Amino acid sequence: MNSSDLAFFLAAARHGGIGRAAVALNTVQSNVTARIQALEAEIGQALFTRHSRGVRLTPAGERLMPYALRIAQLLAEAREAVRDDRANPSGLLRIGSLETTAALRLPPVLAAFARACPRVDLHVETGTSEDLIRKVLDGDLAAAFVVGPVAHAALVAEPMVEEELVLVTAPWQGPPRWLSSTPDAPALEGNKLIVFRSGCSYRRRFEALVAAAGVAETRYLEFGTLDGIIGCVAAGIGISLLPRAVVEPARAAGRIAIHALPPDSARAVTVLVRRRDAHVSAALARLADCARGAMSPAGRDAA
C-alpha cells in the first residue's frame, strides 16, 4: 500500500465516481480504475461497489477512509513543515470563520496579518460552527473562528473574544412576552425565527432559549448571510438572535431594535480552533497573534 494508491482511493470516495476522480486528478479513467484495483488486490477486500451513478464505499472502504485521510494529512503537513520559513512565511493558509465574526472582528485581524505576512495567500471560508469544526478535523482548514465551548479531544480551542447576544426585532416591535415583565408585551407565537442554516451555534442558542420559554409554535426562515437576516428583521418578517456589536450599526441607523437577554443566556465566546496534532505553521501562528492583538479589548480600543 502506498500513498499514491490511497490518493486515488480518496479521490474516488470524495467525488463518488471513477470519471469524476479522474478529472480531479487530471488523469484518465483507466488509470484510476487500475490503481484502485491494485489497492483492492493488495488488501484483499473490495473497497467500492459500482452503481449507475458512480461508486459507493463498501464496509471495508469505510474502515480504510479515516486512515487514508490521516495519511494524506500527514504528508501535506510534512511538506509544509519542511518548507516552512519561520522568519518569512509564504504559501496558502486556509481558515474558516463565522459570518458574524468575518463581518465584525476579522477586518482588523486580516489587515494586521497582511502587513506581517505579505507573502501568504490567505483563503477565508465562512460557515456555521458545526461545518467549520468538521473541516478543521478533516484537514481542509488550518483553523477556524467558531463559537465555544468546543470540547473535542482532537482540537485545541483558544478563546479570542466574548460577545453579548441580544434579541433583534423590527424598530416598532417590543420584546416578546417571555423576555419582558410587561403583561401586554407581544407573544412570540407567529413570529418567524430568522436564523443561519442548521449547525449555527447562535441558532442552537436561540432554539434553546425559545424552548425554555415554553413557546409552542416556531417557524424558521434560513439565510446564509448576515445582511439577509438583518434585512428581514428590519422589515418585520421575524426576529433573530445575534451579537450586539454586529447589529449595533443597524440599531443606530434606526433599522432594528435590540433587547437584552438574561446574563446567563447572553454570553458567547468566539474561539480559534485547530487540530491538536497538526503542524502549526509560521503563518498560522502569526495569524493567531494578530487575532489576539486585534480582538482583545486593548487591541480594539487601539484600533
Structure confidence by residue, pLDDT tens digits, 216-230: 667 888 888 889 999
The CATH number of the domain where 64 resides is what? 1.10.10.10
182 plus 256 within the same structural domain: yes
The CATH number of the domain where 144 resides is what? 3.40.190.10
113 plus 143 within the same structural domain: yes
Distance CA 215, CA 141 (A): 38
Residue 1 has what pLDDT? 74
User: Residue 135: what are its φ and ψ, rounded to 5°?
Assistant: -70, -30
Residue 303 has what pLDDT? 43
Query: Is the separation of the CB atoms in 198 and 263 below 8 Å?
Result: no
Spans of the chain below 70 pLDDT: 81-87, 177-191, 215-217, 296-303
Strands 155-169 and 238-243: antiparallel
52 plus 122 within the same structural domain: no
25 plus 171 within the same structural domain: no
Residue that is last in its domain, among 83, 110, 138:
83
- Is the pTM value of this prediction over 0.85? no
- Number of domains within the chain: 3
> For 182-207, how does the pLDDT look when each residue is reduced to its tens digit (9 = 90+)?
444 445 545 688 988 888 888 888 88
Q: Which three cell numbers stand for residue 287?
A: 495569524
7 plus 71 within the same structural domain: yes
Domain interval for residue 245: 162-267
Residue 87 has what pLDDT? 67
260 plus 284 within the same structural domain: no
Give residue for cell 494524506.
72
Paired residues of 96 in beta bridges: 125, 144
186 plus 37 within the same structural domain: no
Check the CA dihedral 112-141-292-109 and report its sign: positive
- Nearest Cα neighbor of 69 from 138, 21, 124 is 138
184 plus 258 within the same structural domain: yes
Q: Which three cell numbers stand for residue 105?
A: 472582528
144 plus 154 within the same structural domain: yes
Residue that is last in its domain, among 83, 115, 150:
83
Burial class (CB in 10 A: 0-12, 13-18, 19+), 127: buried
Residue that is last in its domain, among 83, 108, 131:
83
Distance CA 290, CA 301 (A): 15
